[in-house]
């Protein structure tokens, strides 16, 4: 059973029943947020009780919205490792949390595992969404496990692996010559035309609950002492908003204190609506024209929940940083040499950190966490276009000079 109480509009606060399918507040055009009975959670939850639980995101059952465990659609996602990095860039306590080893190769699995479990619980048979690529792959995969028909629309130039895995998992896959925003328009029309259930980023309330586990894990894995700064590659923002929600819920039940990390949103110079809004001190972003970056997951011209991303950044005393595609490739090379073949989005956080160190916004003694959202293995097409592979072809060992 779950301690979920109801859903609440992030703008007007209107309550929505959680025991039937809900999307977003149509009046405010804003996300719905899951609210739990925190008094009850406080009574039943203890840090010690976590010991010996399943080593995936479902270990935090008290904070999750699924009523009946039999509806859980899981492939073992979450509880990913945190590695210390020994990079000579000016901070001593540098860590990376690696969601590259999750099923489907990106952290989108967290959100989809949760949303599709809840969809199953609510008897939903058909789901649809636009995706930059990785969300489609995860929706297709978990949809297949749940036996839920899945429609995905993504840019024609989405990473090849995302298209392939979605197709092979049996989803109905459509490509558009455009961006995730163009895919979104088609999905919206399909929703009214075919009665699809919309699981678009932040228009469905439970993907956020899946992403929230990132924050729960960060807290537990750092022994309830949060990092000083978290750098996060931001597209639709679910991960950042999710971690922020996790920290607030943990504080609410007394598991952590008031010291929250500064949340840093990292985007690409070719698509940086949040960075621009932050620089201008705005609470909402504007649609970014001609979005272009090799980091497909953060090629999101306008996030539906942009105001929530910005709220978390401002409230935490954080920041927003844009980096170039060249800097992203350089940083992925550096991380690969640390044993982490990460996605371009993940690599962007290292590129951004270097800028923050340079501008004095990060102190050398601070505990810094880079969030790697996915594996480089999903981006072999993108990397092969940007990394010059100049490998010698040999026919004899004599040609090897050491």
| Contact partner at residue 9 from Zn ion, ligand PLP, none, CB < 5 to 8 Å by partner kind | Zn ion
| Contact partner at residue 28 from Zn ion, ligand PLP, none, CB < 5 to 8 Å by partner kind | Zn ion
How near is the Cβ of 237 to ligand PLP at its closest, in Å? 4
| Contact partner at residue 200 from ligand PLP, Zn ion, none, CB < 5 to 8 Å by partner kind | none
Residue 12 backbone phi and psi in degrees, to 5:
-95, -10
| Residue 11 binds Zn ion, judged by CB under 5 A | yes
Which has the closest alpha carbon to 343: 309, 293, 276?
293
* Segment contacting Zn ion by CB under 5 A, of 3-11, 118-126, 232-240, 388-396: 3-11
How near is the Cβ of 299 to ligand PLP at its closest, in Å? 9
Helix (H) or strand (E) holding 239: helix 238-252
Which residues would be at the binding site for ligand PLP (CB under 6 A)? 106, 108, 134, 201, 233-239, 297-298, 343, 345, 373-374
How near is the Cβ of 10 to Zn ion at its closest, in Å? 7
| Residue 9 binds Zn ion, judged by CB under 5 A | yes
How near is the Cβ of 27 to Zn ion at its closest, in Å? 5
**Using CA atoms, how far apart are residues 291 and 288, in angstroms rounded to an integer?**
6
Residue 22 backbone phi and psi in degrees, to 5:
-135, 150
Q: Which is nearer to ligand PLP, 139 or 226 (CB)?
A: 139
Which tokens sit at 55? 């080593």
Q: Which is nearer to Zn ion, 14 or 40 (CB)?
A: 14
Angle between helices 134-146 and 160-168 (to 10 degrees): 10
In contact, 265 and 323? CB cutoff 8 Å: no
| Contact partner at residue 345 from Zn ion, ligand PLP, none, CB < 5 to 8 Å by partner kind | ligand PLP
Which tokens sit at 270? 């070719």
| Residue 44 binds Zn ion, judged by CB under 5 A | no
**Using CA atoms, how far apart are residues 371 and 82, in angstroms rounded to an integer?**
9
| Contact partner at residue 227 from Zn ion, ligand PLP, none, CB < 5 to 8 Å by partner kind | none
Is residue 56 classed as helix, strand or coil in its secondary structure? coil
**Using CA atoms, how far apart are residues 233 and 304, in angstroms rounded to an integer?**
16
| Residue 28 binds Zn ion, judged by CB under 5 A | yes
Torsion, CA 351, CA 244, CA 241, CA 36, rounded to 10: 160
How near is the Cβ of 87 to ligand PLP at its closest, in Å? 21
**Using CA atoms, how far apart are residues 355 and 353, in angstroms rounded to an integer?**
5
| Contact partner at residue 297 from ligand PLP, Zn ion, none, CB < 5 to 8 Å by partner kind | ligand PLP
List contacts with Zn ion (CB under 5 A): 9, 11-12, 14, 25, 27-28
């Amino acid at each position: 059973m779950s301690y979920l109480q109801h859903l609440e509009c992030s703008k007007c606060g209107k309550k929505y029943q959680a025991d039937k399918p809900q999307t977003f507040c149509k009046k405010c055009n804003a996300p719905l947020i899951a609210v739990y009975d925190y008094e009850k959670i406080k009574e039943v939850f203890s840090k010690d009780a976590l010991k010996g639980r399943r080593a995936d995101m479902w270990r935090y059952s008290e904070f999750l919205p699924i009523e009946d465990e039999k509806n859980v659609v899981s492939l073992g996602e979450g509880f990913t490792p945190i590695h210390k990095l020994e990079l000579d860039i000016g901070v001593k306590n540098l860590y990376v949390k690696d969601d590259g080893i999750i099923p489907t190769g990106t952290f989108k699995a967290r959100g989809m595992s949760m949303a599709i479990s809840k969809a199953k619980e609510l008897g939903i048979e058909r789901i649809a969404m636009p995706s930059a690529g990785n969300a489609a792959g995860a929706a297709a995969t978990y949809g297949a496990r749940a036996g839920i028909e899945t429609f995905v629309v993504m840019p024609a130039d989405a990473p090849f692996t995302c298209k392939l895995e979605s197709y092979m998992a049996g989803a109905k896959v459509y490509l558009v010559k455009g961006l995730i925003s163009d895919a979104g328009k088609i999905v919206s029309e399909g929703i009214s035309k075919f009665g699809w259930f919309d699981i678009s980023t932040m228009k469905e309330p439970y993907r956020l609950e899946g992403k929230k586990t990132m924050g729960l894990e960060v807290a537990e894995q750092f022994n309830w002492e949060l990092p000083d700064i978290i750098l996060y590659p931001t597209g639709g923002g679910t991960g950042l908003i999710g971690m922020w929600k996790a920290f607030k819920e943990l504080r609410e039940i007394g598991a952590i204190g008031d010291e929250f990390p500064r949340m840093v949103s990292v985007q690409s110079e070719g698509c940086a609506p949040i960075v621009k809004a932050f620089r201008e001190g705005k609470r909402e972003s504007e649609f970014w024209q001609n979005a272009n970056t090799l980091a497909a997951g953060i090629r999101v011209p306008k996030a539906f929940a942009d105001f929530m991303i910005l709220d978390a950044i401002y409230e935490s005393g954080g920041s927003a940083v844009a980096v170039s595609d060249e800097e992203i490739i350089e940083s992925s090379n550096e991380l690969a040499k640390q044993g982490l073949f990460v996605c371009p989005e993940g690599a962007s956080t290292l590129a951004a950190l270097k800028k923050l160190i340079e501008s004095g916004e990060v102190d050398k003694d601070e505990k810094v966490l880079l969030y790697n959202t996915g594996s480089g293995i999903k981006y072999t097409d993108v990397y092969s276009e940007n990394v010059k592979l100049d490998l010698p072809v040999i026919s004899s060992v004599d040609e090897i000079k050491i």
